[in-house]
Amino acid sequence: MAAISEPVVANAARAQLWRPLLHTSARYRMVVALLAAVTLWGLFAWGYQLKTGIGVAGIRRPVFWAIYLVNFVFWIGISHAGTLISAILRLTDAGWRKPVTRAAEAITVFALMIGGMFPIIHLGRAWLFYWLFPYPTERLLWPNFRSPLLWDVTAISTYLTGSTIYLFLPLIPDVAALARHTTGWRRRVYRALSVGWTGSDREWHALEFAMKLMAGIILAVAVSVHTVVAWDFSMSIAPMWHSSIFGPYFVAGAIFSGIAALLIAMAVIRRTLHLEAYLTEHHFNNLSKLLLLMSLLWFYFTVAENLTAWYGNEPKEMAVFGARVRGPFAPYFWAMVICNFVVPFVLLGIRRLRTIRTATIASVCVLIGMWLERYLIIVPTLSYGRLAATWGKYAPTWVEISISAATFTTMALLYLIFAKLFPIIAIWEFETEVMEVSSVS
């Protein structure tokens, strides 16, 4: 019986995990200021675009959609880090998930917020975005529920609601504990957020039951969300878009980039908050294997998509295919293959090379590769339409690049602020694991 030592272990863990909430270093402030500067620049660029017209972006006929939509698909993909991974691991009761889940769930919520902004940013009249919501209006007009964009609106709002609740539920015991141990404004905020949590076993029961249910529901929603994003493209009749493989291809790609984002976030958290004891080689090793698996799956889908197009040899599709693999888009295409397949396969497939450092490198490559993949799906198809007379080249402008860059800093900023306000590792889930381990020994 290790009955006496357990609280000590738990308290030590708590002290270390709470440290970043109560102390703010000068370095933290500097990083936040830097990120905020880039974010503000992005906001300025968006303001300029709103005032002048969407024409300040590089989009043109026939490339009506470009990197705003690339960012949209990319961030919605990243958002699959959290819910999918944490829900799968929760449902399969994988014990090693416990220090990972909150970091993943927070990625989901923030990535969704950012991704959800892009369909609005890319609108010609962005200030009228609410016309897509069904509400009684003096215009007597309801939205067209047959449009895939309406599917997007419902899918993303459902996913955002669900993943926010999914992040919030396991946070309740932590904020209740924080409310007990803090003073001043923190105590008031945490108390309010803890919605009257007393720690009774009825609450714990309800919480665990709700989490199990939510894990199941959120899995179903997450799969559907990225399928719907894929269907924005495959419901149209543009060459290489009108493809039945897009749904699963996008879902696999989303999980792939989601794991990569999670690995990067974990490496940064581990390094900056000195959580080497909690985020161990073991966690990185497991996630690396998952990343490797998804890399193989991604490669399989990519081969399936391109081989069928090439073998079918249909001229309109071949124009797009050719532009991708040997035309003007070839450098991006082969860079994507290297980033998404070659690098992860070598670095993570060979066991001796699989370390935290290489996993992080592979993850950065995967994020680049997945961004390129979305670019290669959207832009070549639109550049090479069905009538050769209308083909056209697209190049992004400073406005698009500024706004895209700002999304990455916004993500980092939101994440940093979240990690400052809430423990990034779910303490109560984690304590249970510590206790289980110590009572076994």
Partner 1 sequence: MFLSAEFRAREQVVQAVRDLTAQGFVRDRLDLYSDEPVEMPAGVLPRRSYMSLGAVTGAVLLLLLTIGFVYFTQYNYPLVTGAMPIFSFWATGVIFYELTMLGAILTTFCWFLWESGVLRRKRRGPVPELKDGAILLRVECEGNQGETANRVLREAGAESVQELRA
Partner 2 sequence: MSERTKHRWAMAIDLDRCTGCQACVAACHAENNLPLSDPESAAKGRAVHWIRVDRYYEGEFPEVKVKHMPVLCQQCDEAPCEPVCPVYATYQNAEGLNVQVYNRCVGTRYCGNNCPYSVRFFNWFDPVWPEPLQLQHNPDVSIRMGGVMEKCTFCIQRIKRAENDAKDEKRDVADGEIQPACAQSCPAEAMVFGDLNDPESKVSRMAGSGRSTRLLEELGTKPKVFYLQRGA
Residues of this chain that interact with partner 1 (CB under 8 A) are: 1, 3-4, 6-7, 10-11, 14, 134, 140-146, 148, 150-151, 154-155, 157-158, 161-162, 165, 169, 172-173, 176-177, 180, 195-210, 213-214, 217-218, 220-221, 224, 228, 231, 428, 431-432, 435
Cα–Cα distances in Å, from 235 out to 46, 146, 147, 228? 29, 11, 9, 10
CB of 435 to partner 1, least distance (A): 7
φ, ψ of residue 395 to 5 degrees: the values are -140, 135
| DSSP-derived secondary structure letter, 342 | I
Q: Write each residue from 100 to 119 as x if it is in contact with partner 2 (CB under 8 A), else as -, in one continuous string.
A: -------------------x
238 lies in the binding site for partner 2 (CB under 8 A): yes
132, 153 Cβ separation under 8 angstroms: yes
Nearer residue to partner 2 within complex by CB, 55 or 216: 55
- Report the distance separating Cα 173 and Cα 104, nearest Å: 18
What angle is formed at CA 161 by the lines to CA 157 and CA 167, rounded to 5 degrees? Answer: 140
* Residue with tokens 């966690």, as numbered in its chain: 283
Nearer residue to partner 1 within complex by CB, 12 or 34: 12
CB of 155 to partner 2, least distance (A): 13
64 lies in the binding site for partner 2 (CB under 8 A): yes
The residue count for binding partner 2 (CB under 8 A) is 43
134 lies in the binding site for partner 2 (CB under 8 A): no
- Report the distance separating Cα 50 and Cα 120, nearest Å: 11
- Report the distance separating Cα 407 and Cα 119, nearest Å: 14
CB of 336 to partner 2, least distance (A): 22
382 lies in the binding site for partner 2 (CB under 8 A): yes
161 lies in the binding site for partner 2 (CB under 8 A): no
Q: Which of 49, 18, 47 is nearest to 425 (CA)?
A: 18
387 lies in the binding site for partner 2 (CB under 8 A): yes
CB of 440 to partner 1, least distance (A): 14
Cβ-Cβ contacts under 8 Å for 130 (sequence gap 6 or more)? none
Nearer residue to partner 1 within complex by CB, 6 or 325: 6
379 lies in the binding site for partner 2 (CB under 8 A): no
**Among partner 2, partner 1, none, what does residue 236 contact (CB within 5–8 Å per kind)?**
partner 2
| DSSP-derived secondary structure letter, 80 | T
Cβ-Cβ contacts under 8 Å for 71 (sequence gap 6 or more)? 115, 118, 403, 404, 407
**Among partner 2, partner 1, none, what does residue 43 contact (CB within 5–8 Å per kind)?**
none
Say how far residue 404 (Cα) sits from the centre of its chain: 15
Residues 281-320 that bind partner 2 (CB under 8 A): none
Which runs of consecutive H residues, i.e. helices, occur in 273-314?
281-312
Nearer residue to partner 2 within complex by CB, 73 or 425: 73
Nearer residue to partner 1 within complex by CB, 1 or 26: 1
128 lies in the binding site for partner 2 (CB under 8 A): yes
